[in-house]
Amino acid sequence: MINQGVVMEAGMVQGMDTVIDSRHGTILYLEDVSVSFDGFKALNNLSLYIDAGELRCLIGPNGAGKTTLMDVITGKTRPDTGSVFFGQTIDLLQLDEPAIAETGICRKFQKPSVFDALSVFENLQLALKTNKSTWATLFSRLQDEQLARIYEVLATIGLTHLLDKPAGILSHGQKQWLEIGMLLMQDPKVMLVDEPIAGMTHQEVERTAELLLSLQGKHSLVVVEHDMAFVRSIAKRVTVLHEGSVLTEGSMDDVQNDPRVIQVYLGE
Amino acid sequence: MNCSSHIKFFCCGLWLCLSLGFSPLLRAEATRPELLELLRSGTMPDKEAAIEQLANLPDSLELLQALQEGRLMELKADGKLVIVNRPGEPALFSDALSKTVLDNLDKSQLSKINVNNRIRTLLKKAIALQQLNDADAGSRLLAVEALGKLMDQSSAARLAERLQTESDDAVAAAIRRLVLLDQMQNGNKEQRIQAIASLKTVNSQELVNQLQAMTETDGEHFKEADSDIRNLAAAALIEIKGRIQAYAAMETLFFGLSLGAVLVLSAIGLAITFGVMGVINMAHGELMMLGAYTVYVLQQWLPDYLGLATMLSIPVAFIVAGLAGIAIERGIIRHLYGRPLETLLATFGVSLFLQQTVRSIFSPLNRSVSSPDWMSGSWQINDFLSLTWNRFYILIFSLLVFGLLVQILKRTRLGLEVRAVSQNRAMARAMGIPSGQVDALTFGLGSGIAGIAGVALSQITNVGPNLGQSYIVDSFMVVVFGGVGNLYGTLLAGFSLGIANKFLEPYAGAVLAKILVLVFIILFIQKRPRGLFPQKGRAVEN
Amino acid sequence: MKNLDKSFGLVIAVILLVSLLMPLGNLLLPEGSAFKFSAYSISLVGKYWCFALLALSLDLVWGYAGILVLGHSAFFALGGYVMGMYLMRQIGDRGVYGDPLLPDFMVFLNWKELPWYWQGFQHFGFAGLMVLLVPGFLALLFGWLAFRSRVTGVYLSIITQALTYALMLAFFRNEMGFGGNNGLTDFKDILGFSIQSDAVRSLLLLTSGLLLIIALLLGQALAGSKMGKVITAIRDQESRVRFLGYRVEYFKLWIFVFSAMLAGLAGALYVPQVGIINPSEFSPINALEVVIWVAVGGRGTLYGAVIGAILVNYAKTLLTGLMPEIWLFSLGAIFVIVTMYLPRGLVGLFDHWIRRWTAQRQLLTPGAQEAGL
Ligand SMILES: Nc1ncnc2c1ncn2[C@@H]1O[C@H](COP(=O)(O)OP(=O)(O)OP(=O)(O)O)[C@@H](O)[C@H]1O
Ligand SMILES: [Mg+2]
């Protein structure tokens, strides 16, 4: 759960310079969102609510619209209809990608996207939560606590020994970790994590699960994953997407026993 | 005109009497030998009178034309008149009177019959009057047109007479118009009002001039005394000028369309290579240049068959430029796929190379390429609207090429493979489509069309090493404006940019118009970064 | 990394030495001495420095930010025109027509008064400011339109080419008031000293050299800063940077404007040394030549752009002097060869050789291997 004191007093979560009104305990509202590409409905009247501090798992067969959903939340794709609110007051459809990132919604991409030409350290440095305007960036010097934070994250993602290597030489799994690290550096209120464990070893998967679990409460997380064992290990609430809308929602057990879900996954 | 209306009072209409009255030397119906003698030895007024009579005698055309062209000679020895025939006719000389062929003559034995400008004008009229009886309707029409410019009392009478027997509709209409014009000036009030009413639907510059004159003053008085007529003339003038404006707009539209056709032709090959292969071919302009030089070379080889050479150069240019394109693709571009900026630079290098090659082989100067006869001249629809044939054909030609290309992409195996590769290269390859071969052929196709565009360009601009340079920026703008990968976008963009250019030109001048269009496109890209018809899908976004 | 830094220092040292020694040789040594550099060669080298500065400015946007501008020479030309306007105003009444205010070409066109946009250019300070502001403003305007609508890649390149092309057409017009076809020329003085004098030429060379060095150092600092990292990141994955909260378009705009100003500065230094500026400087092929300088040297290294600019222009001077027809062939060949075989330019090639050489040496001397470990 979110920091009780703050919620009790004002129902507000204090961001860097934005204030998220999550008085009703819900931090992300998607209502009746539809997205179509050339007539094909990738999202179809989808409604979804994410609570402050919760860890939500999103599953669904290929092409169900999970990534598209994240595209809509982060401003990459504009929905045809529907509304997307961050807290009670921030209409995400009015904002572009950097503005949304600045309000505190950050994302790990399905295909790991790190900056190959920059070192691991520099990748994290760029993600660091600070003033990101041009002039501030031009004259920015790393503060001691910022440096400490980078090393802390480096340790968490286990890449300390590679910190000055260009990210381009990392393995797929390491890139996944680096991107998770970048997510941590941004210290967002909402983390959207698209297929984090692809390319990871068994131990790494366990560590990822631990990490995600430790993050909930302080952050709200939406995790997309196909690996059911992994989902089971972290999930409290699971939402199943199918053909662009929510098929069902509930605990892992409920969901797995839902005949519609079984039919969707296993066919007729 | 006013003069002739005075004369009317004195004569009863027959112009023969008239000339008699002024030329006492001449009998009313002089014989042909007498007239010839006058031409030879008479004073200038005598000659004029003789020509006026000759104009009415049948079969004098040859003589009159010879006189006008300075081919009527006098045999120094005996004063016999001799016609020097036009080059190409079997006999060199013939007798002016008997028309028999004369041998054993030498230019030195002849001296030319002199004429002055007044006589030349008379001759023009006389020849036209003669041709009015020509068997060929086309010649008659030309004669009527010539007479229109030299109208006077006598020709009006002759025209009215001819109208009775004229069988060809077009000729009859032309004559009727001239007769009406004459009536508008010289008829009685009712006739004049009638004439204006029926003439105001006619498109003729001569009519506009006359109407204009009728509404003007010569200082204090109106040139046309009758105020009713004057008002009618003014009203008719306004109506006609409205039409002139409409025709001017049509002409601009035509110019715009033809410029658009050129743009489409030059951009469409680019659209294929850019849209399908994601390759920027900066040497595209130079491939067009190759096409244009193909015309030049073929015309050098077949100097006597310009039309054939030009037609032949369409397939030849396609092959030449297409092969050059395939060579560029296989030699360079193939190694640079996925690196569009590098491709751009490398092909620019190729373009420099081609330019300099042409400069070294053909000289840096522009070469002259001729147009076949049927492409030169213009289609004179009326006095206010004429369309030049070469632009007209290029318009048709570009539409044909476009249609053909669309069909190729739609219906052939190559087209299918091209579309498959353009949508998903990896997938297409996995399905066994030889993407390398498809690329080469696509590039060859695009380049070949550039060659064809060069053939078209050779008919309307200078053929020189810089030909490609001057079209490449425009072609790119067309592709960008239309949206990459969409041939219909290219078509629409080409025509709209062409038309916009031509409509801006009168206000802004050619250069400023071009700048404005460029600025417009830069702004347009703001609203639609992917052009009029954007390509969609995930592949595009990444 | 280490030998990159070394080369960087080397390039700066060479530029500094040449900029100092050539003028000294010219001014101090007696006639006939081997190192008595002619005024021509001084201006020639000065010209190379200006081209190097232009190449460096392009490298900032292309090499670092990944924006292939096919119209960078337009900013160069604009800076040149601004300087040309100052130099024209310096002529005063010494022109052919002797008009105290109007430049000759305006008198020739029957203009009666100086257009408003020619006001103020008699002041060196104002002109100097405009050298930066005019290209900067154009870059700001164009960049704002282009980057905001997310025009990227070849699209952007083509549009920048169209921009230069439009500018060229515009400057060819007499009505623009910049001398039309002939451009601005016949300059006499700069800051009151004759532009032909050896001392002024020497000083111009020195100034160009120093500014080039400053630009190199500034560029290096920029590349090493966080700003430089963001810009590199934008080059490689523009959309990802947005999701980190950076306003990509502002960063691009910043570097674009900065680079345009540098290019303008290069143009302003170039004009007094060659004595003329005309619309052909805007021609698309000029812009592409700049790109090839950078590519030859190796983009994204700054000093590589400098080396490339100097080498290619030296080759151009040589070849156009010997056999003008050969030049375009060679230039074409350079474009093809560099893009196909030297993606990292000469700098990359040398870097590769040096690395291979050191690696071999380490293998050959057994002691070295242990010492290295
Ligand atoms: N930009 C786009 N253009 C066209 N179609 C798109 C686009 N983006 C997504 N789609 C389509 O929308 C549908 C949903 O895609 P999405 O990536 O959201 O699925 P997903 O649930 O993430 O699948 P996966 O589990 O395979 O990642 C797919 O059919 C996809 O092809
Ligand atoms: Mg997905």
Of B424, B530, B535, B538, which is best to mutate to test ligand 1, by the most ligand atoms within 8 angstroms of its C-beta? B538
The structural domain count of chain C equals 1
Nearest atom (ligand 1) to Cα of B540:
1
Q: Kindly determine whether residue B525 and residue C151, on different chains, have CB atoms separated by under 8 Å.
A: yes
From chain B, the residues in CB contact with C170 under 8 A are 511-512, 515
Does position B385 have pLDDT exceeding 60, yes or no? Answer: yes
d(CA A223, ligand 2 centre) in Å: 11
Q: Which residue has the least CA distance to atom 4 on ligand 1?
A: B537
**Cβ < 5 A residues, ion ligand 2:** A 67, 110
Chains sharing 3 or more CB pairs under 8 A with chain B:
A, C
Find the ligand nearest to A61 CA: 1
d(CA A64, ligand 2 centre) in Å: 8
- Which two structure tokens, joined as six digits, stand for A115? 């900056």
* Whole-number pLDDT of residue B304: 87
| Residue A37 Cβ contacting ligand 1 at under 6 Å | yes
For B61-119, the pLDDT digits (tens) are 888 888 888 888 888 888 888 888 888 777 788 888 888 888 777 878 888 888 888 88
- H/E element, A28: strand A26-37
Does position B18 have pLDDT exceeding 80, yes or no? Answer: no
| Residue A58 Cβ contacting ligand 1 at under 6 Å | no
The alpha-carbon gap from A37 to the nearest alpha carbon of chain B, in Å, equals 8
Q: What are phi and psi of C184, to 5 degrees?
A: -110, 130
Q: Which residue has the least CA distance to atom 25 on ligand 1?
A: A62
The alpha-carbon gap from A118 to the nearest alpha carbon of chain B, in Å, equals 20
Q: Are B130 and B57 in contact (CB under 8 A)?
A: no
Pick the residue with more confidence: C264 or B170?
C264
* Whole-number pLDDT of residue B33: 83
For residues B170 and B140, give the distance between their C-alpha atoms in angstroms, rounded to a whole number: 10
Q: Which residue has the least CA distance to atom 22 on ligand 1?
A: A67
Extents of the domains making up chain A:
54-75+104-114+170-266
Q: Kindly determine whether residue A116 and residue C230, on different chains, have CB atoms separated by under 8 Å.
A: no
Sheet of strand A237-242, all strands in order from the earlier edge strand to the far edge: A105-108, A190-194, A220-224, A55-59, A237-242, A245-250
The alpha-carbon gap from B522 to the nearest alpha carbon of chain C, in Å, equals 7
Q: Kindly determine whether residue A137 and residue C246, on different chains, have CB atoms separated by under 8 Å.
A: yes
**CB within 8 Å of C112: residues ≥ 6 apart:** none
Q: Are B76 and B109 in contact (CB under 8 A)?
A: yes
Mean pLDDT by 10 residues, chain A (268 residues): 37 50 81 89 92 92 91 93 92 93 92 91 94 91 92 93 93 91 93 89 90 90 92 90 91 88 75
**CB within 8 Å of C246: residues ≥ 6 apart:** A98, A126, A132, A137, C230, C234
**Residue given tokens 């990359």 in the structure block:** C348
Q: Kindly determine whether residue C242 and residue A101, on different chains, have CB atoms separated by under 8 Å.
A: yes
From chain C, the residues in CB contact with A137 under 8 A are 225-227, 230, 246, 251
* Whole-number pLDDT of residue B19: 43
d(CA A65, ligand 1 centre) in Å: 6
Extents of the domains making up chain B:
25-118, 132-225, 246-366+388-541
For B502-520, the pLDDT digits (tens) are 898 888 888 888 888 888 8
From chain C, the residues in CB contact with B324 under 8 A are none
Q: Are C215 and C35 in contact (CB under 8 A)?
A: no
Q: Per-residue pLDDT for chain C (373 aa), expressed as one digit of tens each?
A: 455 678 889 999 999 999 999 988 888 888 878 788 888 999 999 999 999 999 999 999 999 999 999 999 999 999 999 999 999 999 988 888 888 889 989 998 899 999 999 999 999 999 999 999 999 999 999 999 889 888 888 888 888 988 899 899 999 998 889 999 999 999 999 988 999 899 999 999 999 999 999 999 999 999 999 999 999 999 999 989 999 999 999 999 999 999 999 999 999 999 999 999 999 999 988 999 999 999 999 999 999 999 999 999 999 999 998 888 888 899 999 999 999 999 899 999 998 898 899 888 887 765 544 444 4
The alpha-carbon gap from A38 to the nearest alpha carbon of chain B, in Å, equals 8
Nearest to C277 by CA among C371, C187, C204: C187
**pTM of the full predicted structure?**
0.83
Q: Kindly determine whether residue A186 and residue C244, on different chains, have CB atoms separated by under 8 Å.
A: yes
Hey, is the C-beta of C165 within 8 angstroms of any chain B C-beta? yes
**Residue given tokens 């021609």 in the structure block:** C283
For C185, counting Cβ atoms within 10 Å of its Cβ (0-12 exposed, 13-18 middle, 19+ buried), the class is: middle
Residue type, position C209, single letter: G
**CB within 8 Å of C41: residues ≥ 6 apart:** C22
Q: Which residue has the least CA distance to atom 18 on ligand 1?
A: A65
Three-state DSSP class for B5? helix
SS (H, E, C) C174-211: HHHCCCHHHCEECCCEECCEECCCHHHHHHHHHHHHHH
| Residue A67 Cβ contacting ligand 1 at under 6 Å | yes
Residue of A nearest to C255 (CA): A134
Question: Shortest CB distance from C162 goes to which of B332, B473, B527?
Answer: B473
Q: How confident is the model at residue B300 (pLDDT cuts 50, 70, 90)?
A: very high
Q: B387 pairs with which residues across the strands? A: B379
| Residue A242 Cβ contacting ligand 1 at under 6 Å | no
- Which two structure tokens, joined as six digits, stand for B194? 């009638």
CATH of domain A54-75+104-114+170-266: 3.40.50.300
Does position B135 have pLDDT exceeding 90, yes or no? Answer: no
Count CB neighbours of C258 within 10 A: 19
Residue of C nearest to A138 (CA): C227
Supply the range of the domain harboring residue C257. Answer: 2-372
| Residue B538 Cβ contacting ligand 1 at under 6 Å | yes
Full DSSP string of C117-158: GGTTTTSHHHHHHHHHHHHHHHHHHHHHHHHHTT--HHHHHH
Q: Kindly determine whether residue C244 and residue A107, on different chains, have CB atoms separated by under 8 Å.
A: no
For residues C136 and C178, give the distance between their C-alpha atoms in angstroms, rounded to a whole number: 19
* Whole-number pLDDT of residue B535: 64
Pick the residue with more confidence: B331 or C324?
B331
